[in-house]
Amino acid sequence: MASLKELRNRIASVKATQKITKAMQMVAAAKLRRAQEAAEAARPYSERMAAVMANIGKVVDPADAPVLMTGTGKSDVHLLIVATAERGLCGGFNSQIARFARDHARELIAQGKTVKIITVGKKGYDILRRDFADKIIDRIELRDVKQVGFANADAIARKVISLFNEGEFDVATLFYSQFKSVISQIPTAQQLIPAAAPEAAQDAGETAIYEYEPDAGEILSDLIPRNISVQVFSALLENAAGEMGAKMSAMDNATRNAGDMINKLSITYNRQRQAKITTELIEIIAGAEAL
């Protein structure tokens, strides 16, 4: 049984940890608001970009369509871009994304496909290298970046497009976590190359007939690389919001657990101290009666 001194030290240690987790929860809550606003502000632009691509994609001749839209005609080599957080202490946020990507990779390998992986974020690399160390061709860390900007996403997109132009892969898929709420982040896979042209919206404004100058193929040649950068940027913003939400929830649970542990240790300490006092009183009374 632990001594009273050991129990006091343990209670003090847990209280110190509780202060840290509480502070981290408050910091995550402050950052969450900004990250959530940024993610929500990027969604309309991303959706509108997809709608424009859908409208142009309907009128372009497949023979004139850029190779980033049509692809190589094969699906033998798959590139997985796995975007996670740079730091931990956010519950199962990183492991959910990595598990989703790992299951997809194993399914592709079972089908006889070749898999290559680019990790964006330190935690994704740390998790995936256990099973796919030989398949990770590049790792990108944003640890020194104070706030994720479009330039970071554009650099990632340019690297992916460069690998495609060099014939390194046939299909590229981006893995990230879509932010829904503080307690809900959904692992998501989005195909970047060949660019999947979504269906155009059926609004009245989307049914108009447009004439394109230069031709639709040239517009898509410029629009698709930009759309890839936009989708990567949107994914990074979704990840940032999801990370802060998951961290706030995890630190809140840790703070509550620390409080429960302090209560249990305090009860044990008080019982043991009372037992020691009772023992001393019995010894004093017994000694007095012996005299």
Residues 116-146: pLDDT tens digits?
A: 999 998 999 999 998 899 999 999 988 766 6
62, 95: one domain: yes
236, 261: one domain: no
113, 229: one domain: yes
Mean pLDDT value across residues 66-92: 87
Structural domain span for residue 218: 27-248
225, 263: one domain: no
Name the residue type at position 12: A
User: Does the pLDDT at position 201 exceed 60?
Assistant: no
Which residue has better confidence, 204 or 77? 77
Residue 168 carries which DSSP code? Answer: S
Supply φ then ψ for residue 176, to 5 degrees: -155, -175
| Annotation says 15 is catalytic | no
| Residue 60 in tokens | 């372009």
| Residue 156: half-sphere exposure toward Cβ, Cα within 13 Å | 34
| Residue 93 in tokens | 């946020």
Residue 65 lies in a domain: yes
> Residue 208's pLDDT is what?
60
Task: Report the CATH number that the domain containing residue 95 is assigned in CATH.
Answer: 3.40.1380.10
Q: How confident is the model at residue 202 (pLDDT cuts 50, 70, 90)?
A: very low
258, 216: one domain: no
User: Does the pLDDT at position 205 exceed 50?
Assistant: no
User: Does the pLDDT at position 237 exceed 50?
Assistant: yes
User: Does the pLDDT at position 55 exceed 70?
Assistant: yes
B/e letters for 166-195, b = 16+ CB within 10 Å, e = fewer, are eeebbbbbbbbbbbeebeebebeebebbbb
87, 14: one domain: no
Residue 274 lies in a domain: yes
Catalytic pick from 7, 68, 90, 193? 90
70, 181: one domain: yes
146, 232: one domain: yes
227, 211: one domain: yes
Domains of the chain: total = 2
Residue 291 lies in a domain: no
134, 179: one domain: yes
65: left (phi over 0), alpha (psi -120 to 50) or beta: beta
Q: Where are the beta strands (DSSP E) in 95-170?
A: 114-120, 136-140
User: Does the pLDDT at position 268 exceed 80?
Assistant: yes
pTM of the model: 0.82
